[in-house]
Each structure stands twice: as structure tokens, then as C-alpha cells.
Structure 1
Amino acid sequence: MHSAAPDTSDPSLKATRREWIGLAILALPCLVYAMDFTVLNLAIPALTAELRPSASQLLWIIDVYGFMVSGFLMIMGGLGDRIGRRKVLLLGAAAFGAVSILAAFSKSAQMLIFARAALGIAGATLAPSTLSLLANMFRDPSERTFAVSMWISSFSAGAIIGPLVGGALIQSFGWGSVFLAGVPVMVLLLVLGPVLLPEYRDPDAGRLDLASALLSLAAVLSFVYGLKRAAEAGFGADAIGAMAAGVALALLFLRRQARLEDPLIDLALFRSRSLNTALCINMLGVFFMFGAFILLAQYFQLVAGLTPLDAGLWSTPSAIVFMIGSFATPALARRITPVNLLAGGLIVAAAGFVGLALADGFYGVLLSSLLLVGFTPVIALTTEIIVTSAPPERAGAASALSETAIELGGALGIAA
């Protein structure tokens, strides 16, 4: 027997002013989270001149943040369900701010690698905590769609602001200043979060299973490392071995979850056809989107002959269009059924790929890339489906699943 759909006309489901202000507060750490993925690229020449890292150390400075974020997403999502999503978010924000200061004043390559790794662990608290809080704060479906779209647009805004703010800071204050940019945001979150953000946790949750956490961490890190090696040097023995180890560890992780009374990931979630379909579409969408962005970055620099900074500036129109698409998605969702909106978005994105394949010249490529905005409603709607397919007490784990799918899709897109 199916439960009745929520009555969207019920005033009790509508968000109050507190929730809408809370949405703005939750968007801020997501913006910083996205900035930290992009802003370091501009600082590499300056920090290389000062810290003189080896080639291997420089790769770890760049990559370790993403590795740690990917590996700890599932752990932080499960921890939020158990001890409280607001608590995990605020603890992560405090750690992110403190370690950002450590990174800014690093005196050696080893110190910066450690700081970037710690930033990744702290960053892993931000996305699942903010998304799962939104799912509980906005119970009206149309308001929740808007909130998730704004959450996604904050990442696009971070991608836009990162290179621009980073370039200005480096030029005026040196490479360390790019890490300090997020500190005021984290301080603001720590001040306003306890007042504006409600706490949610599973009252019946047990303790976090340490073995599950370690298996999850090892599986994701091994697989993502293999993908990274494949992107750098092809599918050699080390890349294939790392990915195979990741798959084997993932199978051990799933086997352990099936035996636990209170697993890190409840395998019953995967009985939902809508969740499984949304996860697949979400990951494939990010796979194609990231692959296209890498292709565009290479085209701007290797074919069009632009400098890295100019290439970043010419990528800004796409990021702006994506942010506009995020704002437009809720209005479209009120007029178009989710299936038709998903299909329409995929068709528009496919037209963009056709345009990229047939484009003749710089502006043809640039205009065709704007059609990739079709992925915006796809990512927004599938993210909402994933989170709302889980019971409220498992929203943190479901949010972590969504973010892990995005991270894996992005890593696959880069490797391809």
C-alpha cells in the first residue's frame, strides 16, 4: 500500500524565515568547498618558487584534498546521522578554518601536504551535512527542489569566484592568502549555525562501526587513486591494481554491511528503484560533464593558445550559465514533470556534445559548451531523488551516497 503524497498546500510544510536564512548560511561553506578545488591551480607557480616541492610532492599537494574528500564522505554522512548533522557540520567548519590557517603559513611542502589532507577530511563534512540538513528543513517538495538547486548553484558560484578571487589575492598578498579566503565564511557559519540551523539525528542509531569506516575509506581511496593514475599515465598495472583493490574492498564493505544491525550504509536503501536510477544518472551525468570540462580546458590552452588564467576567464560564461540554470530548475520543475525535465536536460546536453564535435573555431566551441547547461536540472533532480528516497534518519548516508557518486563520476570523467 502506497502512502499518500504530501499535501503541498498544507501550511505546516512551508519553510519559515529561519529556514530560508539557514539556506543562505548552508550555501556559504559549499561555495568555499568548491573554491578549494580550483583556487590552488593559480597558486602553484608562487608556492613552487617558495617551497620548492619535488614533482611527486607537487602532485600530492594538488591531489590529496580531493582524495581525502572522496574517502571520508561516507564516513561523515554516517557520523552525521548518529551524532547530529549540525554538530558534524560545525565541527568540520571549525577544523576547516583552523587547518586553512595552517596551510596558509606552511613552511615546507610536507607541511602543506598534511594541511591539504586535513582540509579534505574537514571538507568531507560539508557537502553531506548541508544537503541532509536541507532535506529535513524543507519538507514542501517545490521548496525542497528550490533549496537543492540553490545548494548546487553555490558550487557553481565557487567555481566562478575561485579563480577570480584567487588571482587577486595571490597578486596582492601571496599564495598563502588563497587558503585564508574561506576562514571568515567558516567563522560566520560557527556563529550563525547554532542559531539558525536545526539539529537532526537518528535517535535510534548505534555506534559507528570502525571496521566499516576503514573499509569504506580504503575502497574509495584505492579506486580513486587508480583512476587518477590512469588519467596521468594510462591504464597500467599500478592503476588497474589500485582499482581492482578498491573493488575488492568495496565488496568486503558491502558484505559487512549486510551482517550489521546498524550498518554505515543500510543496503535496504538500494531496494528503491528510483534511488538506484537516480544514482546511475547522477554519476553518468557528472562523468560526461567533467570529461567535457577537461576537454574544454585543454582546447582553450593547447589549441586556442590561451594562458591558464585566460582559459579560466573564458570558462566563466559556462559557469555563469550553469548557475542561472540552477535558479531556473525549480520554476521548470513546477511546470514540467521530473521525467520530461530530465529527458529534456539530457537532450540539450547531447546537443551541446554534437555542437562540440562539429564546431569550427573558438566561438563555435564556446557557444556549444553553453548547451551543457542541460545537465543542471539532471544533477539537481537526481540529487533530490536520492536524498528523499531515504528515510529522514538516513538522510546523511543518502547525501553521502550522492556526493560519492559525483566524486566517482568526476574522477571517471577526468580519467577518460
Structure 2
Amino acid sequence: MTRTAPAREPATAGPAENPATDGTPARTSNGPAAAGTAAAGTAAGPRAGRREWAAFGVLVLPLLLVSMDVSVLYFAVPFIGGALHPSSTQQLWILDMYGFVLAGLLITMGALGDRIGRRKLLLIGAAAFGAASVLAAYSTSAVMLIGARALLGVGGATLMPSTLGLIRSLFKDEAQRAKAVTAWTGVMTGGIALGPVLSGVLLEHFWWGSVFLVNLPAMALLLVLGPLLLPETSTTKTRSTQTKRTQTKRTQTKSAQTKSTDREPFDIVSSLLSLAAILPTIYGIKELANNGLAVLPVVALVAGLAVGVVFVRRQYSHPGALLDMALFRSRAFSGALLMNTLAMVAMVGIAVFTTQYLEAVLGLSPLVGALWSLLPSVTVGGCAPLAAVLAKTLDRAVVLAIGFVVAAAGLGVMTQAQAHSGVWLILLGASLEAGGLVMVMSLVSTILLSAAPEERAGTAAALMESFTEFGGACGMALLGTIGAAVYRGDARTLLPAAITGTARQTAQQTLGGAESVAAQLPGAARAQVLDAAREAFVHGMHAAALGGAALMLLSALLAVTLLRRRPA
């Protein structure tokens, strides 16, 4: 059956429905329209009031905690190890299970929220997230904690796309929506940065389970205030409203097709296919990045990509498919997804190096390193609103290009950091890099929501989050491989000749391996090994930063090419 977009009023027609502009608003005599604003600066709908902004505040708090759960276990791992005695494999799954399940279910939950209602799914997810948090906090075995982390991933997958989809429904005015999405992006990125710090503070005073129980007040608040403040949205409701607004024969035909689509049952097969495609793909990429070439990650990656092909083919042919593939025909939508993915490649790929640089090269404790790493968040907090302001007077493609160039400059600054240059140079580079990329991410989020019809907002948000996870995994693989190759090459020549055999092989693989070898040596030899390994690591970081900077400059060119507005 042919899938058709529902009719919309001319005053609220989204950019995805304007074929003359290839999915973007037209230029007018007043200059370029603001990104995320209607053409010529006119509002696309009624302005939100206090109730809507209060509802937005209710949405932001759980989003902060869900994003923090990605990184909150970094400090807790030693404490969990002492209490539950997990094996090395179980410890890895404790860390990774949440992110894997979250990524695997985002598309399914985004489509489900569009169908049954985003508020309903959000409240179900909040209850599940709270219950899973209690289960994780009081786990008595490693297996139990792994299972609880998986349930947390299920709950997180319902919360993240639902919050962004509800923003699309709360803020009809495009300018206000741009502000809300900017804040949403800042909260999400800030939560990931705050996770290790909160973990360190809690573990100073409480037992390891406290890092999970901190979720409960926010989820309780959401369950109480959500039904009072949040609107209910679903595909059926939105389409029914739109059908009543138009009387033309063409609209009536679309309405008949829409009702037929609504009768289609939820596509469970597509849901399973998306999970079977995303999980092994991300697992394979991460394992190849962390441990090098091996049979199992390669098989997982190939299998995931193969299932992904089957999933995409089903979306084209099945009448009740999870994704409306017509979304990808919009240059604005597809281009914004690509820009978001490229930004995450650089952000996650270089973060691996900056964290190790602070702790292993400069010798800072994990908590002190985490506190220092909050400094770039100050820049991030100002750059997201700056992008929205610039987009009011400049073409959004130009603003995206500026963000990518700023990120490239920050990565260039990182190439000047040395083993003994102190903390300020690396933090300056990280601030510029993070600030530029948050400009990009906040803007593409607004573009994505504006390019997608309102009844597909949850699916659009889920796609963005899925591509975010994919971009992060690719960043670890791409930049991590570059840095690791340079490290191994330099370590072969820089390590003292007295280090031979298995010890030399271990020290040549990673900086952590060199530290374990050095710990078994006397004072002078230990210092020589550490100095050589740290210098090799810094050279690897420089190479990864240069690779990331080149990618960011290419991304700036792509942004101008793909997303520049065309005259009507």
C-alpha cells in the first residue's frame, strides 16, 4: 500500500512538504529564514505559554538522568567489583548493556510512541526506569545487575525519543521550538558530562547502589506531573484532526489511506529486525575499536549490516512498517541526520583520548579529571543558544559550517598539547571542539523536527538518537584506530631496549598495558617506560585530532552543499 503524508494546513506546513525548496523554507525579501523558524521569521503556530514551558521542565529532568546513566558507572566499577565480584566479561557487560539495549530499541520505541501516544509511552517508560533503578541498586549478583541495566536501557529507549517528540507537540511556534531543542541538546550533553562527577560525589558518602537510586525522585515527579501538563499525541489522533481541517477530494483520499494504515497492527517483525541489526553492528564496531581485528566482532558487524538491509527492504514494502521511508527523501531530514552522525564521530572519538590524557598522562585522579572535564560544559552552555541566534540572520547551512570549523580549530589546538604541557591547553581545545559540535547538534535537532510531520516526530527523534549511537561507535573505531596505530609505531622505537618479550608486546599495545609493565619495574626503568608510553600516546592523540579536524572541515563543506536553502 502506498504511504502518503497527511494533509496539513498551509499555515503549519512543515518544510518537508515544500517540494519547491527541497525540504527547506524558501528565501524571502527579508533574508534567510532562521533555522527552525518559519520563512521570513513568521511563527508557524500559536506561541507556548507557562504551561508548555512547565511541561518542558518536567521533560528535561528525566532526560538529564537518562543521559547521565550512560556514564554514571565509570567510578562505581571498582566498588561493584568488590561487592559482586564480576568476571572481566561480566564487568564489560555491566558497562555496555545499557547503551546497547538503548540503541537497539530507539527506533521501535519512537514508532510505538507515535502510534499509541508519546505521553503514555513516556509514563510507562518512567515507571519501568524507576523500577529498574531499584533493581540495579539492590542487585546481589553480576548477572542480576546486567539484567537490571538491560531493563534500564528499555526504559531509556522510551524516554529519549518521547521527550523530543513531545517538544514537537508542545511548541507549535518554530522559534520557541528552536529554543526548546537547544535546551534539550544542552541538557543531554551536560548529563553525559555530569555522570562521572555525580558518581564520584555519591561514592564518597554512600554505597555503589546510590548512583541508581538518584533516578527515583525525577521519575516520581514525571509520573505525577506528566498527566497534568503533557499533551497526549498519537498518529491516529493527529491524523484525525488534520482530516477534519480540509474538505478537498484529494485530502479525503489521503484520509482513507491513512485510516487503512492505522488499522495495520504494530510491525513486531520490523522491531526485532531493527534490534538484530543495531545491536551486533554497534557491538562489532566497538569491539574492533577497543581490541583490534578479531573474528567475533567482524562476524557481528557483517551480520548486523545484513539484517539492516533486510530491515530497510521491509520498511519499503510493509504497510505497517516502523519507518516512513519518505522522510529520507527530504534533503533537510537526510542531511541533518548525516551532520549529526559526523558530529558524534568527532565528539566521542576524541573524548576517549582526552579522558586518558587527563588521567594517565597528566596523572590526575578520576574525580579531579572529571571535575576538570566539566570546564568545556561552560562553553557548551553558551554555544547552543549562539547557534540559534546566528541562524536568525545567516543561512542555517552557514551556521552548521561555522560549528564544524570551530570544532576543527579545537582539535587543532589539541595537537599542541604535550606530555608535560599542563591541563589548560587540552581543555581549551576540548572547549572549542565541544562548543562547535553542540552548535551543530542543537541546530540539526531543530531541522529534523521541522522537516518531519508532527505525527512522525517520535520516529524522527528515535532515528536521530540511533544515528547518534552509530556515530559515537564509528568515532571510537575510526579515531581510535588512527591513534592506536601511531601509538604502536612510536612505542616500538621509544620503549627502552631492555624491555623485551611479552612485557614489550604488552607495553606496545596500549598506554594501560605500558603502565602495568612499568608497575613491575624499579624506579629508573619505570620512569623510562612511562615517559616513552606517554609520549607515544600523545603522538597518537595528535594524529587522531588531525584526522578528526580533517573530517570536520569536510563536514562543513557537506553542510553548505546539502543544507543550503534554495530559492522557491
Same topology, TM > 0.5: yes
Give the equivalent residue in structure 1 for 2:359. 301
Give the equivalent residue in structure 2 for 1:90. 123
Greater shift after overlay, 62-71 or 381-390?
A: 381-390
Pick the aligned partner of 1:243 from 270, 282, 301: 301
Give the equivalent residue in structure 2 for 1:388. 450
Pick the aligned partner of 2:319 from 261, 264, 267: 261
1:12 Cα offset (Å): 5.0
Are 1:39 and 1:162, in contact at CA under 8 Å, matched by a contact in 2? Answer: yes
In 1, distance between residues paired with 2:445 and 2:42?
24
Aligned partner letter, 1:171: E
Tell me whether 1:406 sits opposite 2:406 in the alignment: no
Q: Per-residue displacement from partner, 1:66-116 (whole Å, max 9, x unpaired)?
A: 000000000000100110011111100010001100100001111101000
1:157 Cα offset (Å): 2.8
Are 1:282 and 1:382, in contact at CA under 8 Å, matched by a contact in 2? Answer: yes
Give the equivalent residue in structure 1 for 2:426. 365
Aligned partner letter, 1:235: L
Tell me whether 1:314 sits opposite 2:372 in the alignment: yes
Percent of aligned pairs with the same residue?
Answer: 44
Q: Is the partner of 2:373 in helix, strand or coil?
A: helix
Aligned partner letter, 1:404: S
Q: TM-score, with normalisation over the residues of structure 1?
A: 0.96
1:6 Cα offset (Å): 6.2
In 1, distance between residues paired with 2:41 and 2:405?
30
Q: Per-residue displacement from partner, 1:311-340 (whole Å, max 9, x unpaired)?
A: 211111012321232243333332333112
Are 2:44 and 2:172, in contact at CA under 8 Å, matched by a contact in 1? Answer: no
Relative distance call for 1:134 and 1:359 in structure 2 (3 A) is same
Give the equivalent residue in structure 2 for 1:102. 135
In 2, distance between residues paired with 1:249 and 1:227?
15
Alignment map for 1:58-97 (pairs within 5 Å): 58-97=91-130
Pick the aligned partner of 1:326 from 380, 384, 400: 384
Pick the aligned partner of 1:184 from 217, 223, 227: 217
1:8 Cα offset (Å): 5.2
Q: Per-residue displacement from partner, 1:156-200 (whole Å, max 9, x unpaired)?
A: 331343223222222212100000001100000010111111011
Pick the aligned partner of 2:332 from 251, 274, 284: 274
Give the equivalent residue in structure 2 for 1:129. 162
Pick the aligned partner of 1:165 from 198, 203, 213: 198
Alignment map for 1:171-210 (pairs within 5 Å): 171-203=204-236, 204=259, 205=262, 206-210=264-268
Aligned partner letter, 1:268: A
Give the equivalent residue in structure 2 for 1:377. 439
Q: TM-score, with normalisation over the residues of structure 2?
A: 0.71
Q: Per-residue displacement from partner, 1:93-151 (whole Å, max 9, x unpaired)?
A: 01000110010000111110100010001101111100111112112121111100100
Are 1:159 and 1:319, in contact at CA under 8 Å, matched by a contact in 2? Answer: no
Q: Is the partner of 2:235 in helix, strand or coil?
A: coil
Pick the aligned partner of 1:46 from 75, 79, 85: 79
Q: Is the partner of 1:40 in helix, strand or coil?
A: coil
Are 1:101 and 1:179, in contact at CA under 8 Å, matched by a contact in 2? Answer: yes
**Count of residue pairs brought into register by the alignment:** 416
Are 2:169 and 2:231, in contact at CA under 8 Å, matched by a contact in 1? Answer: no
Greater shift after overlay, 358-367 or 7-16?
A: 7-16
Are 1:156 and 1:320, in contact at CA under 8 Å, matched by a contact in 2? Answer: no
In 2, distance between residues paired with 1:9 and 1:336?
16
In 2, distance between residues paired with 1:163 and 1:115?
20
In 2, distance between residues paired with 1:235 and 1:191?
49
1:365 Cα offset (Å): 1.6
Are 2:390 and 2:399, in contact at CA under 8 Å, matched by a contact in 1? Answer: yes
1:10 Cα offset (Å): 5.2
Give the equivalent residue in structure 2 for 1:144. 177
1:376 Cα offset (Å): 1.2
In 1, distance between residues paired with 2:309 and 2:148?
31
Highest Rg: 1 or 2?
2
CA RMSD of the aligned region, Å? 1.7
Aligned partner letter, 1:392: E
1:240 Cα offset (Å): 1.6
Q: Is the partner of 1:151 in helix, strand or coil?
A: helix
1:386 Cα offset (Å): 1.7
Give the equivalent residue in structure 2 for 1:211. 269
In 2, distance between residues paired with 1:259 and 1:355?
49
Q: Is the partner of 1:189 in helix, strand or coil?
A: helix
Aligned partner letter, 1:162: G
Relative distance call for 1:235 and 1:387 in structure 2 (3 A) is farther
Are 2:285 and 2:297, in contact at CA under 8 Å, matched by a contact in 1? Answer: yes
Give the equivalent residue in structure 1 for 2:53. 20
1:49 Cα offset (Å): 0.3
In 2, distance between residues paired with 1:163 and 1:60?
18
Which structure 2 residue ranges, 5 or more long, are not aligned? 1-18, 27-37, 237-258, 479-568
Q: Is the partner of 1:37 in helix, strand or coil?
A: coil
In 1, distance between residues paired with 2:43 and 2:82?
61
